[in-house]
Amino acid sequence: MRILFIGDIFGNTGRRVLAECLRTIIEGKKIDVCIGNGENAAGGRGLTSNLFKKLRKYGLDIITGGNHSFSIPDSDIEFMENERVLRPLNFPPGNIGRGATVITIPDGRSIGVINLQGRTFMHEALDCPFRTGKAAIEEMRKSTPIIVVDFHAEATSEKLAFANYVDGTVSAVLGTHTHVQTSDEKVLKGGTAYISDAGMTGPEDSIIGMQRKQVIRRFLMQTPVRFEPAEGGPMLNGVIIEVEDTTGKALSIERIYERVTFHE
Ligand SMILES: [Fe+2]
Ligand SMILES: [Fe+2]
């Protein structure tokens, strides 16, 4: 199975990149399943029902989340019950939505996706992603050997530690959240593909998606500043993983960092 994973889709620019390029990549690279992190799809914070539908139409099969998963209006949370949208599994029980899902693609093969959030340098007090993740993987392996984990975290050490902790039991552990792609993609000894961060699909002329001036002002002044999404330098960041169907082991991981020109 060939899986395309898209790094944090940021605002209008990120969505437009996918609208223009995703179908071509899916066909050209013979992609079977497309997963993308959508926590920043709505103006940099959260996702909405309307945008969820649009991302699905552009070619995304499953949309994962992160610390911004709950940054949405209370009136618009029903889409969070859809089996193709995830938020981190280790948020306290009782929250809306799910953190793990298994879907069957048109040719009959199944793939499971688990979304976790790290705790190092993150604000939320969450359950242990290592223990929560391991239990979810054990349960999911009863229905499919092909499992992708989106590990949404700040610290590379936490992401790498988790990947080594579950190496050989999942097809891939893919980092998200920093919006800066790392060049450490590899297949670990046990057969788990890994990258510390898949990067951002959105405006490269920005500071991790937001307008540069505003972010610089925040650092200089140390007082609140309203951040707005930037628009320039559309790019697509992600990885393609090739997985052996019967064992779920990764055969390869290829990094994508593509600058895009919009056609008016
Ligand atoms: Fe993000
Ligand atoms: Fe995040």
Q: Ligand 1: distance of its center to the CA of 108 in Å?
A: 32
Q: Which residues, 6+ apart, have CB-to-CB distance to 75 below 8 Å?
A: none
How many independent structural domains does the chain possess?
1
Q: Is 227 among the domain residues?
A: no
Concatenated DSSP letters for 115-142?
Answer: EEE--TT-SS----HHHHHHHHHHHHTT
pLDDT tens sequence across 62-90: 999 999 999 877 778 889 999 999 999 99
- Ranges of beta strands (E only) in the chain are 2-6, 8-9, 33-37, 62-64, 100-104, 110-117, 147-152, 172-176, 186-187, 193-195, 200-203, 234-243, 250-259
pTM over 0.85: yes
Instruction: Kindly identify the ligand whose nearest atom is closest to the C-alpha of 40.
Output: 1
Give the distance between the most distant pair of CA atoms in the chain.
55
Q: Is 52 among the domain residues?
A: yes
User: For residue 163, is pLDDT > 90?
Assistant: yes
Q: Is 65 among the domain residues?
A: yes
Catalytic residue among 68, 152, 177, 179: 68
Q: Ligand 2: distance of its center to the CA of 106 in Å?
A: 31
Q: Ligand 1: distance of its center to the CA of 142 in Å?
A: 31
Residues paired with residue 239 on neighbouring β-strands, in sequence order:
5, 255
Neighbours of 264 (CB within 10 A): 3
In this prediction, residue 75 carries a pLDDT of 73
Instruction: Tell me phi and psi for residue 237, to 5 degrees.
Output: -120, 140
pLDDT band for position 40 (cuts 50, 70, 90): very high
Averaged pLDDT, 212-230: 97
Instruction: Kindly identify the ligand whose nearest atom is closest to the C-alpha of 10.
Output: 1
Q: Is 101 among the domain residues?
A: yes
Q: Is 215 among the domain residues?
A: no
Q: Ligand 2: distance of its center to the CA of 221 in Å?
A: 24
Which residue range(s) make up the domain with 89?
2-204+232-259
In this prediction, residue 35 carries a pLDDT of 98
Instruction: Kindly identify the ligand whose nearest atom is closest to the C-alpha of 69.
Output: 2
Which token pair is 25? 């990549």
Core vs surface per residue 181-202: b (16+ CB within 10 A) or e: bbeebebbeebbbbbbbbbbbb
Q: Which CATH number is 14's domain given? A: 3.60.21.10
Q: Ligand 2: distance of its center to the CA of 97 in Å?
A: 17
Q: Tell me if residue 177 is catalytic.
A: no
Cα–Cα distance for residue pair 244/130, rounded to 1 Å: 25
